[in-house]
Amino acid sequence: MQENKKKQILLVGNPNVGKSTVFNSLCNKKQKTGNYAGVTVASHSGNYVYKNEEIEVIDSGSYSVYPSSEDEAIFSKYLIDEQKNYAGVVYILEALSLKRGLLLFQQIQDLGIPMILVVNQIDQAERRGITIDIQKFSESLGIRIIQTNAKEQIGIDEIRNAVHNNEFVKTDKISFETPNEHRDFIHKLASHKGFDNEYKAWMSVSLGTDLGRLETVMEQIHDAEAKSLVPKRLQVQETVRRYQNVDKILNNVISKKPQFKELLTEKLDRVLVHKFWGM
Ligand SMILES: Nc1nc2c(ncn2[C@@H]2O[C@H](COP(=O)(O)OP(=O)(O)OP(=O)(O)O)[C@@H](O)[C@H]2O)c(=O)[nH]1
Ligand SMILES: [Mg+2]
């Protein structure tokens, strides 16, 4: 992950969403991908040329904002501290698990990182009669959405085009609201540490000692509240709040057509509970 002239993009998303499949499709590679979580253990780098522009692609593999392994911690640091090295993140959502995917998406969005959003495995949603109102979805997230079936190369050129045109979007509206009881402290911390947004301050506290940040933060602040903050508890609090927010968005966006089997059951039910025929 060295600084160079090529435009660099990072593929990020939850396990098994199709990052490596998108990576292979973009770079015309035939590397093996698996259908179980954690197949990509270390980050992979590849290249492609589109309209005379050379793009370097990094497949982030497994990643979390709150890292639980060395690999994740290295990538996390790169994502936050080395923004000048890359053009943006291509974030992959899986059509069938939007809720889980949006959690990580909004965390990265709240860090002020420019992103392009992809909903992959749209064929799986169609197969199950699940409709995603892409227009509404896109409006509520404030970002354009590219739909792909990476296995069949559908939508891959749209990603290439969006990357070429630098359609990465950075929002300044943070979706995570600091809980009331911590607001004063987080506010103080953000200005003390010179964070350009409060979520970064929240995250530095929630990270605990992993990146050696908490000690320095707390030593400098001498705040009674700081000593009572438990990082893991803050992470849980954040997750709960974010899921409430994500649920609200998805309720207006996802609908499910009943499948043939379900329609049949419904018809049978109607016959069975009929006031004359049913008992
Ligand atoms: N039906 C369908 N399957 C897909 C699509 N994209 C990927 N897959 C399959 O989904 C599974 C996971 O894909 P990967 O590309 O390995 O996912 P990943 O995000 O790299 O997974 P990790 O590296 O383990 O986090 C594989 O079996 C792929 O063949 C798609 O658009 N449609
Ligand atoms: Mg992978």
pLDDT tens, position by position, 24-52? 999 988 655 544 444 454 458 899 999 99
Residue nearest to atom 7 of ligand 1 (CA): 18
Return the ligand 1 atom nearest residue 21 CA.
Answer: 15
Q: Which of 8-22, 71-85, 117-131 has the lowest average pLDDT?
A: 71-85
Name which of 161, 157, 95, 151 is nearest 122 in CA terms: 95
Return the ligand 1 atom nearest residue 39 CA.
Answer: 24
Split at pLDDT 50, 70, 90, the class of 143 is very high
Does any ligand 1 atom lie closer than 6 A to the CB of residue 96?
no
Which pTM value belongs to this model?
A: 0.85
Q: Mean pLDDT score of the chain, rounded to an integer? A: 84
pLDDT per position as a tens digit, 238-263:
999 999 999 999 999 999 887 666 66
CA distance 50 to 42: 26
Task: Give pLDDT, residue 197.
Answer: 87
- Spacing, Cα 46 to ligand 2 middle (Å): 13
Tokens of 90: 């291509």
Return the ligand 1 atom nearest residue 122 CA.
Answer: 31
Rg (CA), the chain: 22
- Spacing, Cα 21 to ligand 2 middle (Å): 7
Split at pLDDT 50, 70, 90, the class of 74 is confident
Split at pLDDT 50, 70, 90, the class of 194 is confident
CA–CA distances in Å: residue 134 to residues 77, 82, 117, 126, 142: 32, 32, 11, 13, 12
Split at pLDDT 50, 70, 90, the class of 73 is confident
- As a dihedral over the C-alpha atoms of residue 107, residue 251, residue 120, residue 60, rounded to 10 degrees, the angle is 10
What three-state secondary structure class fits 149?
strand
Task: Give pLDDT, residue 39.
Answer: 46
